[in-house]
Structure 1
Amino acid sequence: MKCPACEHEETRVLDSRLSEHDNTVRRRRECGNCDFRFSTREETEILNLSIVKRDGSNEAYSREKLASGLTRALEKRPITTQEFRTLVAGIERDIYVLNKSEIKASQIGDIVMQHLKKLDKVAYIRFASVYREFKDVHTFYEEINKLVGKKSKKSKKHKSYAKHTNKRKKSNTAKRAGKAAKKVR
């Protein structure tokens, strides 16, 4: 491991600790040349895993791509860096446990959704909207109802809100027509 201060190749490990939250090892190191001390974090890699995409093409697994998708879903959400690392590690652990050399992108998406559902429901909806390709507001509404434990059909509140909105639109149109008629006179 190169020293970040002098770029000397030889460093020695002073201390190693396994993280409680994720599959990482924190190592405290010291440079043999300049005595500079620094920490490194080592994590396991999922190697030789091929992702089968929707169109049938294959792509190598990428932790960066997973983290990027999660970052977009969790944007401006109250999630700490440690919670994020734990989330990524948990998802990768679930993928690793499958013990496959090839996995469908949809399986990874399902695993991600399970983890997000437990961690942050807003991030879950954001991710689901992209992953499941929501086409309209009604699809969002159905997914939110599933999430909060209500039936997926339009609820009475939603129907009454829609009815109320339509009445308001009609009455506003009638008012405008009445005002226009008064101006003409």
Structure 2
Amino acid sequence: MRCPHCGAPDSQVKDSRPTEDGAAIRRRRVCGACSQRFTTFERVQLRELVVAKRSGRRVPFDRDKLHRSVTIALRKRPVDPERIETMVSGIVRQLESSGDAEVTAATIGGLVMEGLKSLDDVAYVRFASVYKNFREAKDFETLLGELAGEGDAPLSGQLP
């Protein structure tokens, strides 16, 4: 594994352990050239996925992009990073086990919406506002009405 600090081609594995959900192996490494430490993750990839965008373009699926999108929605929210990683791993597993080599961006967005709904209401609304391309305050009101109408606890700060 190439060192991210100095670019040296060789590093030594000091510690390996499975992640919480068992979907990856976390490895602590030390560079032989600069002695810097860094962490890598090794995951099983069942198949190469291609994402069909709304514009018609086809791009390779990028797990890191999915993780970044979810993390942005959850920024400054009290959600454990392990829960985020578990959610992202679950979405990737669903996509890979679906049997299709090509998935739509809408399918991925729907899975993210489902996951965020169970993790954090604020992150769900943040993601929905971008994913569903909200244009006016009425769009937020509609989504908040749906959230409150599902029998969950009322949203904090909701006006009567």
Kindly name which structure, 1 or 2, has the bigger radius of gyration based on alpha carbons.
Answer: 1
- 1:96 corresponds in structure 2 to 96
User: 2:27 matched to which residue of 1?
Assistant: 27
Q: In structure 2, what is the equivalent of residue 49 of structure 1?
A: 49
Provide the C-alpha distance between the structure 1 equivalents of 2:135 and 2:3, rounded to a whole number of angstroms: 51
What is the number of residues matched between the two proteins? 152
TM-score after normalising by structure 2: 0.75
Tell me the amino acid that sits aligned with residue 83 of structure 2. E
Which structure exhibits the higher relative contact order, with contacts defined as CA atoms closer than 8 Å and separated by 6 or more residues?
2
Q: CA separation in 2, counterparts of 1:64 and 1:72?
A: 12
Q: 1:22 to 1:139 in 2, by over 3 A?
A: farther
- Unaligned 5+ runs, structure 2: 152-159
State the TM-score, normalized to the length of structure 1: 0.66
Change (3 A) 1:33 1:83: same
Deviations 1:49-92 (A, max 9, x none): 11111122211111222122212211211123222222221221
What amino acid sits opposite 2:113 in the alignment?
Answer: M
RMSD over equivalenced CA pairs, Å? 3.2
Partner of 2:63: 63
Question: 1 or 2, which has the higher helix percentage?
Answer: 1
2:155 maps to what in 1?
none
Aligned equivalent of 1:118: 118
Q: What does 1:6-17 align with in structure 2 at a 5 Å threshold? A: 7=8, 9=10, 11=12, 16-17=16-17
Q: Is the Cα contact below 8 Å between 2:113 and 2:127 reproduced in 1?
A: yes
Gaps of 5+ in 1: 152-160, 162-185
Give aligned-pair identity as a percent: 40
Q: Aligned runs of 1:158-169 on 2, under 5 Å? A: none
C-alpha distance 106-15 of structure 1, shift in aligned 2 (>3 A) = same
CA contact (8 A) 1:22 1:89 kept: no
